[in-house]
Amino acid sequence: MKNRIYVCHTYYHVYVACLKELNLPVRERKNADLVLSTMSNDFGNLRSRALECGLFDEVYMFEEKEDVNFPEVMKYHKDRGNLFFNMLARMKYTKLLGKMQRDYVPVDFGKYKDVYVFCDSDPIGYYLSYKKIPYHALEDGLDCLATYDTARYDNRGHFGLKAFLAARNLIFIQNGWAKYCLDMEVNDLSVLPYPCPKYIEKPRKELTEGLDAEGKDILVRLFIEDMDEILEKIHEGGGRNQILLLTEPLCELDVRERIFRDCIEIYGKIDGEEPVVLIKPHPRDILDYRKVFPEYIVLDGKFPMEVLNYIPGLKFRRVISVFTVVHAIQFAEEIVYLGEDFMDRYEEPEKHRQNEMI
């Protein structure tokens, strides 16, 4: 039996998996495997770099398939206007969606002592429950449940009944409520408005503080493909103040462009002077920032922003974020976090105030 395997859907997931491995003794490294799901993210050539970084034995690509790919599954994904009939249909949906992943799963998860899954709301969670394979869940993003508890939001109305059914593997609920989910790792229990008996606190800060110089170098080399290009862009501007704007896949593309133009317009000056503006696109943000913001410096988007912490001497005068959690940022003198009140200007509040809707 093999030791550990991590199922990742984003660059941030891979980053956290690496942190967990780097906090183990050196002799225990390369005893873990990595699975990269292609369902919602383009990992480019990360697989080859992950194989070379010294942390993982095998790296698998997973052509995970959403329910919309299977008409036989989607016929059970309809509101029948009655809780009883909805739950009967959901039971069939749960089993069938898990079953339909069999031809796409690249590895036998039953051969591992520990299976770690980020975002088990995706079909992998249904598959593991269908196969009755125990696993550990991990939060999708840093403190993401503080603003959007997807398990409770997706199951508004009769949540207690649905949790009861999920605990018996009759239906599936993510983030610690499924029968075969052993536990759910979160960064900070104190910021979560709703409890779950399977939540366990594993502060990310402890993992980052456990990194040595070699570990930081491994992370930089793994995630930043062209370090020279990054450094060249960061050092443009001849000593002027620099602002870093962190983008996110918010709203429709035209509204998204307006959001980040407003961010720069409102917060893009320091002491009345025009700074150098750099834009770090979110890995899943498909807006072409080089085209719509040609006057600014656009960094490569295909790495988690936390990796900037490990570039020696890097410091921005200001970092601007709408929803990206900024606790982990060490490369800024000042952080502007805008949050829900700012987003109320651009879309209906219920679209981003999910926890208030529960």
Of 111, 122, 109, 92, which Cα lies nearest the Cα of 1?
A: 111
Structure token digits, residue 207:
């993992």
CB of 282 closer than 8 Å to CB of 301: yes
pLDDT tens-digit series, residues 164-188: 999 999 999 999 999 999 999 999 9
Burial of residue 22 (number of CB atoms within 10 Å: 0-12, 13-18, 19+): buried
Cβ contact 86:80 at 8 Å: yes
Kind plus residue range of the DSSP H or E element containing 158? none
Edge-to-edge strands, sheet with 56-62: 56-62, 32-37, 2-8, 112-118, 135-138, 181-186, 199-201
Q: Please identify which residue in the block is written with the tokens 């800024």.
A: 332
Whether residue 237 has pLDDT greater than 80: no
Query: Could you tell me the CA-to-CA distances from 309 to 205, 232, 305, 327 in Å, in that order?
Result: 12, 17, 8, 12
Contacts of 5 (CB under 8 A, 6+ apart): 32, 33, 34, 35, 107, 109, 112, 114, 115, 116
Q: Is the pLDDT of residue 326 over 90?
A: no
**What pLDDT shows up at residue 72?**
98
pTM above 0.75, yes or no: yes
Per-residue confidence band for 225, with pLDDT thresholds at 50, 70 and 90: confident
d(CA 93, CA 87): 10
The H or E element containing residue 204 is: helix 204-209
262-321 tens-digit pLDDT: 999 999 888 888 889 999 999 999 999 999 999 999 999 999 999 999 998 889 999 999
Q: How confident is the model at residue 231 (pLDDT cuts 50, 70, 90)?
A: confident
Distance CA 117, CA 341 (A): 32
Residue 175's closest CA among 194, 156, 203? 194
Give per-residue pLDDT as tens, 118-160: 999 999 999 999 999 999 999 999 999 999 999 999 999 999 9
Backbone angles phi, psi at 83, to 5 degrees: -60, -45
CA distance 305 to 324: 10
CA distance 275 to 241: 5
Tell me, what's the pLDDT at 229?
83
Per DSSP, the residues of 282-332 read: -TT--S-HHHH-TTSEE---SS-GGGGGGSTT--BSEEEESSS--TT--SB
Same fold across 2-208 and 225-357: yes
Hey, where are the domains in the chain? 2-208, 225-357
Short-list 332, 327, 132, CA closest to 234: 332
2-208: CATH topology: Rossmann fold (3.40.50)
Confidence of residue 64 (pLDDT cuts 50, 70, 90): very high
First to last CA, the chain: 42
Tell whether the model's pLDDT for residue 322 goes beyond 90: yes
Above 90 in pLDDT, residue 63? yes
Q: Which two tokens stand for residue 324?
A: 């990206």
CATH code for the structural domain at 225-357: 3.40.50.11110
State residue 250's pLDDT score. 92
pLDDT given for residue 27 in this prediction: 87
Comparing 104-113, 212-221, 224-233, 319-328, the range with the smallest average pLDDT is: 224-233
3 state SS for 322-354: CCCCCCCCCCECCEEECHHHHHCCCCCHHHCCH
